[in-house]
């Protein structure tokens, strides 16, 4: 039986695929304006892409931002600081992530934190334990923007995420060929029956769009939809994702 990731009243891995909306913005004012506008929209949880924030290395300003986000946001919050080595906007080293983890563990200001598998394995073990002690769920993630890894490599990274104890396991890879799309969906189907944690396996780019909707039929628990600026290539808009998910609904 699937181990559901419960975040407030949201159960990731149970029922329909969950819709996450990433928010990107350079300033606190821009971010809060977008989140306030999103409160009127239909989605399940929000991802704040901290790597776009102009003061990302200033933990005092990050804390102020997160406290203000908490004031206006009614849904669960996933905090992500995507490093440049995994397609993000900022050079974020191990000491930077440690400082961020120390911050979010002080106060009830985030529900989930994204940790990249490119960090040191020992550090990941330590961080996951610390975050869990403070009731913060962990999304372990790995991103491939140049070419799709071999299927066995995707299986291996998902298995490693499982052993580390991530609550949601995410792999996103560019797909350049039609065969890549089939591979991504086959691996999703296989691993969702083997690993008892919610998986998010995404093919990025125009060819990969089908994995963002049909992936839910294969066992992918979350899809990401843009509201304004895309945070990854091939994302559907929030409006369009509801239309296509309704069209393929298998309830």
| pLDDT-derived band at 2, boundaries 50, 70, 90 | low
| Ramachandran sector of residue 72 (left: φ over 0; alpha: ψ -120 to 50; beta: rest) | alpha
Q: With CA atoms as reference, report the closest residue to 76 among 21, 127, 128.
A: 21
| β strands within the chain, DSSP E | 5-7, 10-12, 18-23, 45-49, 77-80, 112-116, 137-144, 168-174, 199-204, 222-226, 236-237
% of the chain beyond a pLDDT of 70: 95
| pLDDT-derived band at 247, boundaries 50, 70, 90 | confident
Q: With CA atoms as reference, report the closest residue to 192 among 207, 170, 210, 208.
A: 170
| pLDDT-derived band at 222, boundaries 50, 70, 90 | very high
Q: What is the pLDDT of residue 105?
A: 96
| pTM as predicted | 0.94
Q: How far apart are the first and last CA of the chain?
A: 19
Torsion 233-146-95-112 (CA) sign: positive
Catalytic residue among 18, 34, 148, 170: 170
The yes-or-no verdict on residue 3 having pLDDT over 90 is no
Separation between Cα atoms, residue 81 and residue 92, nearest integer Å: 8
Q: What is the pLDDT of residue 176?
A: 92
Q: What is the pLDDT of residue 235?
A: 78
Catalytic residue among 143, 148, 178, 250: 143
Evaluate whether 173 touches 149 at the Cβ level (below 8 Å).
Answer: yes
Mean pLDDT for 217-238 is 80
Domains of the chain: 15-247 (3.20.20.70)
Catalytic (active site) residue 135: no
Residue 83: DSSP 8-state = B
pLDDT in tens, 62-101: 999 999 999 999 999 999 999 999 989 999 999 999 999 9
Lowest mean pLDDT among 145-154, 162-171, 182-191, 209-218: 209-218
Catalytic (active site) residue 170: yes
Mean pLDDT for 175-198 is 94
Q: What is the pLDDT of residue 118?
A: 96
Strand order in the sheet with 18-23: 199-204, 168-174, 137-144, 112-116, 77-80, 45-49, 18-23, 222-226, 236-237
């Amino acid at each position: 039986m699937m181990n559901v990731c419960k975040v407030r009243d949201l159960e990731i891995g149970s029922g329909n695929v969950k819709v996450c909306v990433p928010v990107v913005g350079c300033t606190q004012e821009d971010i809060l304006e977008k989140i306030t506008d999103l409160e009127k929209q239909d989605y399940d949880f929000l991802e704040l892409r901290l790597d776009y924030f102009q003061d990302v290395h200033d933990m005092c300003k990050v804390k102020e931002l997160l406290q203000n986000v908490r004031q206006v946001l009614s849904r669960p919050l996933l905090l992500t600081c995507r490093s440049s080595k995994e397609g993000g906007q900022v050079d974020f080293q191990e000491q930077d992530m440690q400082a961020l983890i120390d911050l979010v563990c002080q106060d009830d200001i985030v529900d989930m934190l994204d940790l990249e598998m490119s960090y040191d394995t020992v550090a990941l073990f330590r961080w996951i334990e610390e975050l869990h002690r403070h009731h913060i769920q962990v999304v372990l993630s790995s991103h491939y923007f140049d070419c799709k890894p071999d299927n066995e490599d995707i299986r291996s990274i998902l298995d490693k995420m499982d052993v580390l104890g991530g609550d949601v396991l995410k792999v996103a890879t560019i797909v350049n060929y039609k065969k890549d799309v089939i591979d991504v969906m086959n691996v999703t189907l296989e691993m969702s029956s083997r690993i008892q944690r919610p998986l998010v396996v995404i093919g990025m780019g125009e060819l990969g769009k089908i994995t963002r909707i049909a992936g839910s039929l294969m066992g992918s628990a979350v899809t990401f939809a843009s509201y304004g600026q895309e945070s990854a290539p091939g994302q559907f808009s929030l409006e369009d994702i509801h239309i296509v998910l309704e069209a393929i609904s298998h309830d």
